[in-house]
Homo-oligomer: A and B are copies of this chain.
């Protein structure tokens, strides 16, 4: 591929060489695939990330050597499986800043984690006239559960608006977060605009009003160092599949006292202490919230994803993505007809880059790019309310991760230029 846009840095001077992207790329088998005759350029990481060999191998190993049901078995496989499953819990607890293992609940994903909080804590603590604060940039997963809860309880949803630059507009924040507020639920990083929100500041405002704070970390945990104690949030939720881990695993972190006082979510095996025909008592946390056989193999393999991320270092990952996002924004904005959504300052945003073409619909952009092997996403990104605020019916979104480099961005940009030619623009 030759670039028809002048590269503004030489490879040697590139700070991206801080870690070896070629080596990282080689860890991801799928990146060797060709799509429509071209090398796969995967830029749909905000939807789901690819998996390094160590994660795939961890799944294989589990099924080949350890597979058993956990927590009740007295045979060796069951003990090994239980130990491996609980080791991931401990690792997850340390990954987000060193909380207690029991404060980590495994779910299917961010969506289920938020629904769990809404159905348990929310069901018991939200009453008529109470207010739940969200923002205009929430993913449906952090909007609809609160919307439905508010409807059921006759509570009120308040929303923090966004500025034209795609930041939260905090001008009226002390009116929006007020004494009636019971919960503030905000995405740590927007999956559409890339905006990184001031979680610590907002959590402090919520706590000043005696409200709780939930941060949706689906887009942040994969890309930034996260310390839930420093952020001082009450709930933090994220998905394994967006951070190199398997599908079907999500995390809910909540403070111990909250978990201890919340009623269970699902009912069944493993989450009870004693059951008779007239009486049921619950198991201790975290088991109280994990009814039935969990997604054992994938939880076990998620361990390998966390280790892989830590070996590279979350700080390094963040720095790499900041630089690459800057490079991408600069190149994209030089393409005729392309308009970028969200903040331009890379210190205040992550690598989910939404853009539109003044003439072409995002669906056509995505289909065209696919023919060049470039995978991006087009649509409302499960954020229809935000689309209305932006006045768009859809956007195209390229989203970056550790294995992406300047080449990938160059291929994307060249394809966009070619696309406009193809459609005769």
Contact = CB atoms under 8 A, between A and B. Distances in A.
Interface residues of A, number: 88
A76 B147 CA distance: 34
A74 B272 contact: no
Contact of A75 (B56, B114, B268, B366): B366
A376 B68 CA distance: 11
A78 B293 contact: no
- Most interface-central of A139, A266, A370 (chain B CB within 10 A): A266
Contacts of A234: none
Interface in A259-284: 266-270, 272, 274-277, 280
Contact of A111 (B148, B266, B374): B266
Copies of this chain, count: 2
A384 B67 contact: no
A155 interface: no
A51 interface: yes
A97 interface: no
Given A35-B76, A35-B77, A377-B73, A384 B47 contact: no
A292 B375 CA distance: 20
A296 interface: yes
Interface string A361-391: 0010011011000111111001011001000
Contacts of A110: 268, 292
A382 B269 contact: yes
Contacts of A280: 144, 147-148
Interface stretch (A194-202, A239-247, A307-315, A333-341): A239-247
B384 A48 contact: no
A398 to B, nearest CB: 11
Interface of A: 29-30, 33, 35-36, 40, 42, 44, 47-48, 50-51, 55-56, 59-60, 63-69, 72-78, 108-112, 114-115, 118, 139-141, 143-145, 147-148, 157, 159, 239, 241, 246-249, 266-270, 272, 274-277, 280, 291-298, 363, 366-367, 369-370, 374-379, 382, 384-385, 388
7 cross-chain pairs, A with B, having the tightest CB-CB distances, nearest first: A111-B292, A248-B295, A111-B268, A269-B382, A141-B268, A47-B69, A144-B267
